[in-house]
Amino acid sequence: SVIPAETDVAIIGAGPAGLFAAFQCAMLRLRCVLIDVLPEVGGQCAALYPEKPIYDIPACPAVEGAELIANLERQIAPFDIPRLLRHRVEGLSGQRGDFSLTTDKGAHLHAKAVIIAAGAGAFGPNRPPLDGLGAYEESGAVQYYVRRKADFQNKRIVIAGGGDSALDWALSLKDTAAKLYLVHRRDRFRGAPESLRQLDEAVAAGQIEKVVPYQLHGLQGANGALTGVDVIDMDGATRTLEADVLLPFFGLATDLGPVARWGMDTQRSTIPVTPSSCETSLAGIFAIGDVATYPGKLKLILQGFSEAAMAAHAIHPIIYPEQALHFEYSTSKGVPAA
Residues making up the binding site? 36, 44, 49, 89, 123, 290, 331
* 107-136 binders of ligand FAD (CB under 6 A): 117-121
Q: Among 10, 11, 17, 271, which residue interacts with ligand FAD (rule: CB under 6 A)?
A: 17
Taking CB under 6 A as the rule, does residue 44 contact ligand FAD?
A: yes
Residue 131: half-sphere exposure toward Cβ, Cα within 13 Å: 7
Taking CB under 6 A as the rule, does residue 161 contact ligand FAD?
A: no
Q: Nearer Cβ to ligand FAD, position 40 or 230?
A: 40
Cis, peptide link before residue 213, omega less than 30° from 0: yes
Using DSSP bridges, classify how beta strands 225-233 and 32-36 pair: parallel, antiparallel or unpaired.
unpaired
Quickly count: other Cβ atoms within 10 Å of residue 152's Cβ: 21
**Residues for the chain: how many in total?**
338
- Which residues is 124 bridged to in the sheet? 253
Cβ proximity of 99 and 284 under 8 Å = yes
CB of 285 to ligand FAD, least distance (A): 13
Taking CB under 6 A as the rule, does residue 37 contact ligand FAD?
A: yes
Q: Among 290, 310, 312, 316, which residue interacts with ligand FAD (rule: CB under 6 A)?
A: 290
Quickly count: other Cβ atoms within 10 Å of residue 163's Cβ: 14
Distance CA 184, CA 127 (A): 15
Taking CB under 6 A as the rule, does residue 299 contact ligand FAD?
A: yes
Taking CB under 6 A as the rule, does residue 289 contact ligand FAD?
A: yes
Q: Nearer Cβ to ligand FAD, position 34 or 241?
A: 34
Q: Which stretch binds ligand FAD (CB under 6 A): 135-143, 251-259, 276-284, 319-327?
A: 251-259
* 53-72 binders of ligand FAD (CB under 6 A): 54, 56
Distances (CA, A) of 255 to 34, 92, 267, 323: 21, 17, 12, 39
Binding-site sequence positions for FAD: 36, 44, 49, 89, 123, 290, 331
Taking CB under 6 A as the rule, does residue 73 contact ligand FAD?
A: no
Taking CB under 6 A as the rule, does residue 162 contact ligand FAD?
A: no
Cβ proximity of 221 and 133 under 8 Å = no
Q: Nearer Cβ to ligand FAD, position 13 or 284?
A: 13
CB of 120 to ligand FAD, least distance (A): 5
CB of 142 to ligand FAD, least distance (A): 17
Q: Among 16, 162, 191, 248, which residue interacts with ligand FAD (rule: CB under 6 A)?
A: 16
Nearest Cα residue to 98 out of 19, 10, 21, 1: 10
| Distance, C-alpha 48 to centroid of its chain | 7
Cβ proximity of 58 and 45 under 8 Å = no
Binding-site size, ligand FAD (CB under 6 A): 37
Angle at 221 between CA 218 and CA 226, to 5 degrees: 85
Distance CA 18, CA 21 (A): 5
Distance CA 256, CA 305 (A): 21
Taking CB under 6 A as the rule, does residue 248 contact ligand FAD?
A: no
Residue with the shortest CB distance to ligand FAD: 119
Cβ proximity of 212 and 183 under 8 Å = yes
Taking CB under 6 A as the rule, does residue 101 contact ligand FAD?
A: no
Binding-site ranges for ligand FAD (CB under 6 A): 12-18, 35-38, 43-45, 48-49, 52, 54, 56, 88-89, 117-121, 165, 257-259, 289-290, 299-302, 304
